[in-house]
Amino acid sequence: MSETHTKKLMNAPEAIIPEMIEGMVLAHPEMLRVEGATGRAVVAVDGPRDGKVGIVIGGGSGHEPAFAGYVGRGLADAAAVGNVFASPSPEHIKEAAMAADGGAGVVFLYGNYTGDVLNFDMAAEECAELGIDVRSVAVIDDVASAPKEKAGERRGIAGDFFVFKVAGAAADMGLSLDQVEAAARKANAATLSMGVALSACSMPQTLKPNFEIGADEMEIGMGLHGEPGMRRAKVDTADNVTDEMMRLILGEMAPAPGDEVAVLVNGLGATGLMELYLIQRRVAQILGEAGVTIWQSWVGEYCTSMEMAGASVTLIKLDAELKGFLAHPCRTPALTVGAAPAAVAGATRTARDYAAAGRADTVDRASLKAEGPVTPEVFRAMLLSAAAAIAREKDRLSELDGVIGDGDHGVTMDIGWQAVAAALAAAPEEDTISQTCTKAAKAFLDAVGASSGPLYAGAFNSAGKAVSDRLNLDAGAMAAWVEGMLTGILGRGGAAPGDKTMIDAWQPAAEAARAAEAAGEDAGAVLAAAAEGAHAGAEATRDMESRRGRSKKLGARSVGHVDPGAASTHVILAAMRDAFPN
């Protein structure tokens, strides 16, 4: 059976996001512009202003028109644009926050995914250092992704639409930071969604479907990145599918006769309006039979998943305040409500300074411990070997991720490691191992918005600090470096051993490295032991049930598959071992 490949109109996969942003701005110059050094902060031409709460939205690309399509007067002031299905980096988000900041604080709005939470949290910490008061609201509307008693674990899907609109209106009306945050949280609590997928989508870098589904099958409760839903079944009628989605939504929302709702029927990328209107027809019938009034409906593509076929239904239960926010005028590329908002008399905007706050760390090399065969030059060669190995293995790693995740792990790891390689090539030759780790952390974080970005940034920073007193690494320092990588991931991610994550490879790697050091082995043997420990740990994830990340929803279906993050850990350590000097 031949392998399935998809087709996309693009120039180069690595250029698809910056070229998309360029095209958006050229199409809507009266509404959008790009600010900052990264080119990933899309800003409203007439949105940010002094004295107004800033609204920053964001997430991975591939969901167009979300997220940058909702930037404009009366809605979002700026969007941080990540790579396909990957969160924007803290640097992207920080630049969007600087653009949106009017001195009254900023609200971050994004879907509740591990990568987004980690990156937006790190950006909020950096913004606090700049004096920007940030509040964060993670959208949790997908009823299929967790039960009501665990609503905080739910992912955000098309419900972003209503939460963004409410928060943007509240800010445009001049409400305070506390009031805007409260409005966003109120909308979040009142919004519920559920979706169904009929086909897979594909990443630009792989041109392969990111999951397998039969020609006559559908996935009920599918996530926006190809995450598994509640169950797989044969394709049913539009009415029956809509009935199932509405049954879960209304079962939790429990609207009473006379209540009002707004409705969003959203296409996932390859579903025509003909089918979406069939869903809208049935939604209206169900609500009418329940005595619930539809205040307003939106039908079309508002939050997609590349070229996935399927749809979602979102309801927000309304009161007078939420209706007022939804009715407030806005003008963006993807949504216009009411007449174009009038200019605010006397509005000003303070100039922004996006210049990086460069920090030149100086180190007295003479004060560092020089015992050991791993010199800074050797260490850089080891990292470059890891980057080359990830590039060779990226397709295999993405295929592993396609089974239990969203199919992009190999791609995002390759992006991060190639950024590390470029940073090391540009770094001064006299950099110490600790300085090399700091540069690797920043490069990985700036390049990768998926959860692996902040996790590996934390790992490199922690590992660098663990050997900051060393010029060269001996056996003990080599073990300390591996252990430092584990410590950094544990400190940032929140996962634990047994959760079926990269930790299940890094922990046995660190334990094996320490055991080899205690046995009197040299630095090369310590690193080899770490690689062997990572391999054993990665293989052990095959029998684990996932308890973290996007594969958590799979439950028992995740058993039998190696975790891609654990597999990439072994690739990294094995490549570093192979580059060790004989």
Report CA-CA distances (Å) from 112 to 108, 138, 146, 545. Answer: 12, 5, 12, 21
HEC assignment per residue over 457-496: HHHHHHHHHHCCCECCECHHHHHHHHHHHHHHHHHHHCCC
Closest by alpha carbon to 540, among 573, 563, 513? 563
Q: Which one from 63, 225, 535, 561 is the annotated catalytic residue?
A: 225
Report CA-CA distances (Å) from 477 to 86, 117, 436, 467. Answer: 34, 32, 15, 6
- The helix, strand and coil proportions of the chain, stated in percent and rounded to the nearest 5, come to 50, 15, 35
Instruction: Quickly count: other Cβ atoms within 10 Å of residue 299's Cβ.
Output: 17
Dihedral sign computed on CA atoms, order 327, 331, 332, 333: positive
Question: Using alpha carbons only, how large is the chain's radius of gyration in Å?
Answer: 24
Report CA-CA distances (Å) from 396 to 413, 497, 571. Answer: 12, 24, 11
Report CA-CA distances (Å) from 4 to 151, 394, 411. Answer: 37, 18, 18
CB-side neighbour CA atoms (13 Å) of 404: 27
CB 569 within 8 A of CB 506: yes
**Catalytic annotation present for 225:** yes
HEC assignment per residue over 266-313: EECECCCHHHHHHHHHHHHHHHHHCCCEEEEEEEECCCCCCCECEEEE
- Catalytic amino acids? 225
